[in-house]
Amino acid sequence: MTHTISGQYGRDTIVLETGSWAKQAHGAVVYKSGNLVLLATVCAADEAKEGQDFFPLTCEYTEKLYSVGRFPGGYFKREAKPPEHEILISRIIDRPIRPLFPEGYFCEVQLQVQVLSADGDVSVAGHALNAASAALAVSDIPFNGPIAGARIGRVNGELILNPTTKEILNSDLDLVVAGTKTHIVMIEGEAKELSNEEMIAALRFAQKHIAEFVTLQEEYAKKIGVVKREVKLKVRDEELLSKVKEYAFAKLTTANQTPDKTARNKEISNVNKEVVEFFKDTIEDSDKIKDIKAYLHELEYEIVREQVLTKGTRFDGRKLDEIRSISVEINPLPGPHGSAVFTRGQTQSLGVVTLGTGSDNQRYETLEGQKEKSFMLHYNFPAFSVGEVRRSSGPGRREIGHGNLAERALKLVLPKPDEFPYVIRVVSEILESNGSSSMASVCSGSLALMAAGVPIQGSVSGIAMGLFSDSSGKYAVLSDIAGLEDHFGDMDCKIAGTRKGITAFQMDLKVTGVSFDVLESVFEQAQRGRFHILDIMEKHISKASSTLAGTAPRIIVRNIPKDRIGELIGPGGKNVRGISELTGAELYIEDDGKVTISGSNQESAEKAAKMVDGFLQR
């Protein structure tokens, strides 16, 4: 039986339909907004795998090029490996949904959202999250939702829900928010140096509209008569837990006071081995040994949080708002065009900048057509950075997401192309990690850009904020969280920006939401931390180097009439090829008549520019 419901979501009319397509999925919704049609499906295993002790959730967002009447590029003419923008939207779906499944639910869940028909004016990210939540809402899979997503823009000071693609181009804010009826659960986006107050206002605006769409989903599920599966949770052995706590609590408390990550992990491992060894002779059931390990983790969770919430101190002795020690190196590498090492505690990022020409632009395909990027930041997280051994492979979802966040933090302070006509690539090599490596990438990237002579508008720093809270409403906000505090905390909120304001942000929760009072505290405390970091960074370099590296290309730009592009190129590229052969420079000609001339030195570029000028005078 087909069930349909429609409702207004800002300026958009949303239609949800289930029961007609993909009926064998455990939950399936056709989601429509204008010409946009999404199919969201979800399936879950009936039982968790034997020994499963984590929640295996997979979220996949896919854009079908037939949705805009186009063939995929490449030899095989079919969609293949997901491009980065699809991976980023998959992460936007995953992050707010994951913490809302019941604790202890370990059945495998696969959630897929496909774009079947696209609307060029409609931004998809918020709608994709809504479709995913709706599929869960109409399924029998246990889920503490629904939630809703909202993309927020701001044009001429006016906040806009789900802005069009054209409005986003003129917006000083690009924010994706997910929330329940009452609380925000995820934020991500970029801003043109907005203040804390402006950010909170945008989040309040989003929350109001999110509540409207959550209500629509609740009405829809009620109309269908959804009955959720019963969650079968493992029964805790309270007697064994009590014995483990009595034996191990003091030992774990002592081990947790070790500030060094490697030493602390070793101490905790030794305690765990000792406890298992102590109990194994009295326990015949091997599953009980696994239970002991789980109970030890629970005790560690309790110890770390109790210290923060009752004593106001952290495992490494820092105050709640204290930043770890910071060191900076400028241009440690002689070969690259610019480099910097930023170290904060046991997190270290090597930022390296390469300057290129128009031919180095990154080209990629989206539903809107072919696009180009002249700035990119790539984030690498090798196994040695955390003292592990694993197979090296290409960047995973985490690396792509972290790189994108750091890229967004820096791109808004870059000079305009007519002021600095270079393609810029920043690489962040994480050399060691103990929390907040993406924000270390922002700092090393900002320093390396200045070292390379890129005239950015101001230094950018980033900080990761944490939250510990309890059922009574008591909470503590932590600045510059280490990996342990991220693992045992309720929130990971990354905020980057200049002294003028915020440029990028990302927040994920492990709880079902945070209040605006908490968010205001987080943003205010983060600003103090960011400024402290900027003070240290600017002691080492506060403005761009006045000269480019000797190995950087030299670029001169000329603009020619469009109707003379063919003449300059010549038959079969003869003229351009001749200029290149005589001068050693390269010419990159764009459709609008912009000619970028790049040489390995200034003399080469100037010689080619004179030849182009001479051609135009014919």
Spatial CA neighbour of 504 closest among 427, 408, 375: 408
How far apart are the C-alpha atoms of 497 and 409, rounded to whole Å?
A: 7
Q: How close are the terminal C-alpha atoms of the chain, in Å?
A: 74
SS3 349: strand
The string over 36-63, giving b where at least 16 C-beta atoms fall within 10 Å of a residue's C-beta and e elsewhere, is: bbbbbbbbbeeebeeeeeebebebbbbb
* 486 assigned binding-site residue: yes
How far apart are the C-alpha atoms of 213 and 355, rounded to whole Å?
A: 46
Sign of CA pseudo-dihedral 15, 166, 59, 181: negative
Whole-angstrom Cα Rg for the chain: 27
Number of other residues whose CB lies within 10 A of the CB of residue 237: 16
Is residue 311 within 8 Å of residue 330, measured between CB atoms?
Answer: no
How far apart are the C-alpha atoms of 449 and 391, rounded to whole Å?
A: 31
Phi/psi for 387 (5° steps) reads 65, 35
Spatial CA neighbour of 358 closest among 88, 546, 585: 585
Cβ contacts of 47 within 8 Å, gap of 6 or more: 107
Q: To 5 degrees, how large is the angle CA 106–CA 112–CA 118?
A: 160
* 260 assigned binding-site residue: no
Beta bridge partners of 588: 596
DSSP, res 118: -
How far apart are the C-alpha atoms of 521 and 320, rounded to whole Å?
A: 12
Residue 578, amino acid: G
> Which residues line the annotated binding site for Mg(2+)?
486, 492
